[in-house]
């Protein structure tokens, strides 16, 4: 491919805060068509096809059979699992010309079970796995960051079917390994797996594959001591309270205008962890109230709350209708119709400040074990905190990091097969969507540094002074030699300045670069460099093709060195 023919322009000025969005827009990889909807230009399409090839090879390696499900599906299919009603407006619903209800696929569990149903009746077929690479649409309320969170995207999803839980678990491990290989082959072996919440997918065990980056939307709980890793949504929160020597009696104190737990603690000269705060939510379905008491320094984890209640919730908005004394709510002497929950962080705590259920008053000396009924249930509803105790090694080593989810695997159990009347199986599904994430992780200030396995081209030849006959001839000859040898070559044959050409080359991000110029030819050499600056050398003209090919192989070997064995 010659740059002069390549569709797309590169731009100099920064266009976005998020680096992948900035670099991929400036580099001519994509063009926005609508909110969260992009067209991919040739370099991005090349990267996407390469990622697809890696996915296909890895799925085939774990005995996957490629299939294709529809993008537009009839409502009946989603009704059969109950998700037509249970999923919110991120599922884009519409009517066709005959008025029939339809939706755009955001995931294909129903379609997978529909396909496998009836035609996999005999036990000899099991286990089997089907996968597809297909367009998906999620009507995200807020698209963000270029390709980082879009509404339309290409996804690989896989569904395996098993006759026993043990077989499902065995296969789950193979999938897990296949994912590690996929990220390693795509040049991001640093992706980590974290325990996750299964969310709308259902099922019990699931892992997310996360690329750690500050712009990530997910909060991760990581223990560097023992390797414990979980999504905040799924992370256990461990809080230890040491009982005070003396348990003080309950006492009502005037706190006036102090309403937040922070203000009250400041007023009374106490620390937040010596208080008990009330947090009020409402169920989405009927706006009924849910009241959670936690230790004052612990935040409520909404995912855990949702899972415990088996109902979606939102922070209370019309608390005035709750018949609660907002700002002074407390667990003692509370009369309310709201569902009342107690977080595990209150276990063992003593001498806490809490609301008195009376305007302008709080209590001190609240001792849950003494002041609450003996049958009070304490539930883990809290968010893990930096420096908190690791649920695995129990050191106070918890770190909080941010990450982008680039894949997800689930053990769905019988969630879909039972709902849809299929006998005989379990299932798990996976997804991956990594182009922008790789860019986010692999770049410098000048552009992306694509791993060689997914780079749009393996090598770029920069013909400086393409109007010079000798440069033109030597560059073309090298181009032909590399092309014939099977390398993927981009040739910049434009009559532009060196600065302009290099800045474009940085945006293309090809791993190997060869510079041919009157100056290098004067010395009988070309200049060879890698995009990551680890190699920079002169090579004699005659040796150039062989050396470039060897360097490409070296870079590929470096990627493969980090790819774990398949299991």
Binding residues for a second copy, per CB under 8 A?
1, 4-9, 28, 31, 33-35, 37-42, 44-46, 48-49, 63, 65-74, 76-77, 89-90, 92, 94-98, 100, 102, 104, 111, 114-116, 118-120, 124-125, 128, 130, 132, 134-135, 137, 139, 141, 151-152, 154, 494
Handedness of CA 500, 503, 507, 509 (dihedral sign): positive
Phi, psi of 62 (to 5 degrees): -105, 35
User: What is the Cα–Cα distance from 513 to 502, expressed in whole angstroms?
Assistant: 10
Comparison of 42 and 348: residue with beta carbon closer to a second copy: 42
Residue in 433, 434, 429, 405 with CA at minimum distance from that of residue 172:
429
- The token pair that represents 104 in the structure block: 């755009």
Which candidate, 503, 452, 419, 397, places its Cα nearest to that of 28?
503
* 70 token code pair: 């529809």
Q: Give the shortest CB-276-to-a second copy separation in angstroms.
A: 39
Nearer to a second copy, 27 or 403 (CB): 27
Report whether 425 contacts 161 (CB < 8 A).
yes
Q: Is the Cβ of residue 105 or residue 382 nearer to a second copy in the bound state?
A: 105
Write down the least CB distance from residue 447 to a second copy, Å: 17
Nearer to a second copy by C-beta: 41 or 184?
41
Check: CB of residue 150 under 8 Å from CB of residue 435: no
Q: What is the DSSP string of 436-479?
A: HHHHHHSEETTEE---TTT-S-SEEEEESSTTSHHHHHHHHHHH
- Shortest Cβ 125–a second copy spacing (Å): 7
Minimum distance of a second copy from residue 467's CB (angstroms): 13
SS3 label, residue 493? coil
Strand partners, 408: 208, 431
Task: Return d(Cα 106, Cα 209) in angstroms, integer.
Answer: 19
**In the complex, what is the shortest distance from the CB of residue 101 to a second copy, in angstroms, rounded to a whole number?**
10
SS3 429: strand
Burial class (CB in 10 A: 0-12, 13-18, 19+), 407: buried
Nearer to a second copy, 45 or 503 (CB): 45
Measured from the CB of residue 169, what is the shortest distance to a second copy in angstroms? 20
Q: 77 or 475: whose CB is closer to a second copy?
A: 77
3-class DSSP state of 123: helix
Residue appearing with tokens 């256990």: 236
Given the complex with a second copy, which of 119 and 285 has the nearer CB atom? 119
At closest approach, how far in Å is the CB of 154 from a second copy?
8
Q: Which is nearer to a second copy, 56 or 358 (CB)?
A: 56
Q: Give how far Cα 567 sits from Cα of 165, 170, 411, 564, Å.
A: 19, 10, 18, 9
CB of 209 to a second copy, least distance (A): 24
Q: Is 122 or 534 the residue whose CB approaches a second copy more closely?
A: 122
Is 134 or 468 the residue whose CB approaches a second copy more closely? 134
Name the minimum Å distance from CB 566 to a second copy. Answer: 17
Beta partners for 427? 161
- Three state DSSP letters for 188-212: CCCCEEEECCCHHHCCCCEEEEEEE
Q: Give least dist CB 59 to a second copy, A.
A: 12
Question: CB of 208: closest distance to a second copy in angstroms?
Answer: 25
CB 315 within 8 Å of CB 280: yes
- Contact between residue 104 and residue 69 where contact means Cβ atoms under 8 Å apart: no
Whichever of 472 and 494 has its CB closer to a second copy, that residue is: 494
């Amino acid at each position: 491919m010659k740059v002069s023919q390549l569709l797309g322009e590169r731009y100099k000025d920064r266009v976005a805060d998020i680096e992948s969005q900035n670099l991929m827009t400036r580099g001519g990889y994509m063009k926005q068509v609508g909110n969260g909807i992009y067209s991919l230009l040739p370099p991005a399409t090349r990267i996407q096809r390469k990622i697809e090839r890696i996915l296909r090879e890895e799925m085939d390696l774990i005995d996957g059979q490629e299939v294709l499900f529809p993008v537009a599906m009839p409502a009946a299919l989603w009704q059969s699992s109950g998700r037509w009603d249970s999923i919110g407006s991120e599922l884009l619903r519409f009517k066709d010309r005959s008025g029939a209800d339809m939706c755009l696929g955001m995931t294909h569990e129903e379609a997978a079970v529909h396909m496998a149903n009836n035609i996999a009746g005999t036990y000899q077929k099991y286990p089997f796995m089907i996968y597809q690479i297909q367009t998906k649409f999620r009507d995200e309320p807020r698209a963000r960051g270029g390709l980082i969170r879009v509404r339309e995207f290409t996804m690989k999803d896989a569904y395996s079917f098993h006759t026993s839980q043990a077989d499902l678990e065995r296969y789950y491990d193979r999938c897990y390994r296949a994912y590690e290989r996929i990220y390693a082959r795509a040049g991001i072996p640093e992706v980590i797996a974290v325990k996750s919440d299964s969310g709308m997918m259902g099922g019990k065990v699931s892992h997310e594959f996360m690329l750690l980056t500050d712009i990530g939307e997910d909060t991760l709980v990581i223990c560097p001591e023992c390797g414990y890793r979980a999504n905040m949504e799924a992370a256990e929160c461990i809080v230890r309270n040491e009982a005070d020597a003396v348990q003080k009696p309950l006492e009502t104190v005037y706190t006036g205008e102090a309403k937040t737990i922070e203000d009250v603690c400041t007023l009374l000269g106490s620390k937040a962890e010596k208080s008990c705060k009330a947090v009020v939510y409402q169920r989405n379905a009927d706006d009924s109230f849910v009241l959670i008491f936690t230790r004052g320094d612990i935040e409520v984890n909404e995912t855990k709350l949702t899972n415990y209640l088996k109902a979606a919730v939102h922070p209370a908005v019309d608390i005035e209708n709750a018949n609660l004394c907002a700002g002074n709510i407390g667990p003692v002497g509370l009369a309310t119709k709201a569902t009342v929950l107690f977080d595990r962080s209150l276990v063992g705590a003593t001498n806490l400040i809490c609301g008195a259920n009376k305007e302008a008053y709080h209590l001190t000396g609240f001792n849950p074990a003494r002041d609450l009924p003996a049958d009070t249930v304490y539930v883990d509803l809290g968010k893990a905190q930096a420096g908190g105790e690791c649920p695995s090694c129990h050191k106070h080593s918890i770190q909080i990091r941010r990450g982008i989810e680039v894949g997800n695997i689930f053990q769905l159990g019988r969630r879909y097969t039972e709902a849809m009347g299929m006998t005989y199986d379990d299932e798990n599904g996976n997804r991956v969507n990594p182009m922008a994430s790789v860019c986010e992780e692999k770049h410098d200030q000048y552009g992306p540094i694509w791993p060689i396995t997914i780079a749009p081209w393996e090598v770029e030849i920069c013909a400086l002074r393409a109007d010079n006959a000798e440069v033109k001839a030597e560059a073309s000859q090298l181009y032909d030699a590399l092309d014939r040898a099977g390398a993927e070559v981009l040739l910049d044959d434009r009559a532009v300045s060196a600065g302009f050409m290099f800045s474009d080359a940085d945006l293309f991000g090809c791993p190997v670069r060869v510079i041919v110029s009157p100056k290098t030819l004067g010395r009988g050499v070309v200049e060879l460099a890698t995009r990551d600056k680890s190699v920079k050398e002169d090579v004699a003209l005659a040796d150039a093709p062989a050396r470039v090919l060897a360097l490409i192989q070296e870079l590929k070997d470096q990627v493969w060195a980090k790819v774990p064995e398949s299991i």
